[in-house]
Structure 1
């Protein structure tokens, strides 16, 4: 009787929804969708986001920190890079700034949105959000260096007119980005792993090695969640691409800048990481939230720039990477405020609010430049 009543894992919503979202992606790929189909794909997208968060937490619980947050950050970024390259290959000259807009949007959303929300949730729970200053400071320094080399310098170089790198400059930026990303991963997971582990808090008495939740899942369950995580993320990015023509149409009809499309797609793609980070902050693991935020920003630049540099061999048209003055000011403000936030290793509601205001300013100026 117990065997007959035993629930199959393939009837669980976290298994069914990613598969349904993947079917919606296949059915909608390359087609002009009517209104009702856009709504259905959007619902599948939302379900895939929730499923991705669930499976990311299962994998993270199995492998521990900081590997868990690294898995989600890398998985999202790799698929995001594939989306950017696909859109640039299909879009022609009008997508020449897509990589820049998407990467910068990811940096602002992660370093201000995810960080701000995580600090806000952590401070609301315990009055003070506590994290590891060494790990967070190292990650922020890496983000600042990558963003400056890849997104700021092209505006000031003189080898080519406009905010572009010459071919040797682009090759250098790609190699430097990849090298910094590899070095960061090595430091995060091997040499100084303890810098990126959740710290002990007075209220809970938890330590990096003390997992107060259920026992880690079995290896088979974790492997299934890893596969479903990848499926869900593919569905998230693919379904976001499927609804992007509708988003572009709405943005154009509203008279908004085309860069708003990239911002909206980045918001959709980063939803799984945002939800996972907020849920970690609610469990007094703000360091895990910061690992997700800064790790995603590092992966976004460190993997996108080399991929775009390689793809530029066959992509036609210019590759605009340099930021304008307004965005450079926002990037500088993000780095300065971020440094003042992470150096003490403790943050209040105010720090979270400041980061969220910077993100709000970025979103407002994207709509009204």
Structure 2
């Protein structure tokens, strides 16, 4: 974050329009290896610019509202991307929402959380956080994940890993309701659960609060960056699909890549917070992203598919169910004491590596 509250670094203002320029130009030479490499670089630049602007906005509005900015903004755009791809491809992509949401949960709970715990533990030894807030988020996450990703496999109203129209509507309404209650708890009723009691070793936290003009500029730039991230990711997705098909990997790998690209801003922001000894902020970002991914994606996709009378596959397979159950169990143990070390980070990263390996080879 810039040291001056009224001055943003030039690179954070140059990269967003540059990303859009690359997006526009790349349409004239779509599929060329050099163009794809430039698109990937523009995507990375937009991600880092988005993280910076999100931190400016978060510093102005304070915690825990700040951690909601990036999570909800990215998830809304992620939903738009998923819905647009699924509607254009029809029944062929009926499982894309499931694959992407499951990938988001695994990336967040194992990849991002594991990286944060490892990075924070290597620099600070032990790190503290509020058990009440973390457990609240994990409780809602477990309920949403099991009800939407596992339960469809054990119902008989519709064949296969799908829900009937009434069940799909119920899943969408309950997911949105649970997420809404969580946001109310996080921001109003029990806001203190998600506030760190430790003094962070990060000078940007103690810097002067950004002015109104700077905050407004960052808010606009954040939206511009996030839309560019998703559109650039969509531009890369055909190449990713071709590579996945050429490698003979399962189609679910496409969902993993989409989720990873969209979650890059949250991952970078959460890791930076852990490195600055702000583990509470890291967990708020990570778990909040996973909750938003399910709580907003499932209701929106459910509404679209019920309206268009299209099939929507939600139930995950046996291997994925085992990995999800193990992830929730390990996460419960990790967040049980309020203190973490590099060991917990290593365990989550091993689970993440197992998820990636098994997703490609099973």
- TM-score bracket, normalised by the shorter chain, equals over 0.9
CA contact (8 A) 1:9 1:15 kept: no
CA distance in 1, matches of 2:108, 2:282: 10
Q: Judge conservation of contact 1:30–1:242 (CA < 8 Å) in 2.
A: no
Partner of 1:120: 118
Deviations 1:277-323 (A, max 9, x none): 01101111101000011100100000001110111035464210001
Q: Which moved more, 1:112-121 or 1:306-315?
A: 306-315
TM-score (norm. length: structure 1): 0.92
Match of residue 84 from structure 1:
82
Aligned to 1:312, what secondary structure does the other structure show?
helix
Distance 1:335 1:247 in 2: 29
User: Aligned-pair distance for 1:153?
Assistant: 0.7
Partner of 2:137: 139
Q: 1:221 aligns to what?
A: 214
Q: Secondary structure at the match of 1:151?
A: helix
Q: Indicate which of 27, 33, 36 corresponds to 2:34.
A: 36
The answer to whether the Cα contact below 8 Å between 2:133 and 2:193 also exists between their aligned partners in 1 is: yes
- In structure 1, how many angstroms separate the alpha carbons of the residues matched to 2:62 and 2:265? 18
Matches within 5 A, 1:84-233: 84-200=82-198, 205-206=199-200, 212-233=205-226
Counterpart-to-counterpart distance in 1, 2:165 and 2:309:
14
Q: 1:16-62, CA deviations, whole angstroms, 9 ceiling, x for partnerless residues?
A: 11112123334446984322221221111011011011111111111
Show structure 1 runs of 5+ residues with no match. Answer: 1-7
> Residues of 2 paired with 1:241 and 1:362: CA distance?
23
Q: 2:52 maps to which residue?
A: 54
Aligned residues: 357
Structure 2 alignment gaps of length 5 or more? 1-5
**d(CA) in 1 for partners of 2:137, 2:76:** 19
User: Is the partner of 2:290 in helix, strand or coil?
Assistant: helix
Partner of 1:301: 294
| TM-score, L = length of structure 2 | 0.94
Question: 1:60 & 1:29 partners in 2: Cα distance?
Answer: 34
Indicate the larger mover: 79-88 or 190-199: 190-199
Equivalent residues of 1:240, 1:265 under 8 A apart: yes
State whether residues 77 and 300 of structure 1, in contact with CA within 8 Å, keep that contact through their aligned partners in structure 2.
yes
In 2, Cα distance between equivalents of 1:313 and 1:33? 34
Q: Within 2, Cα distance between the matches of 1:315 and 1:152? A: 24
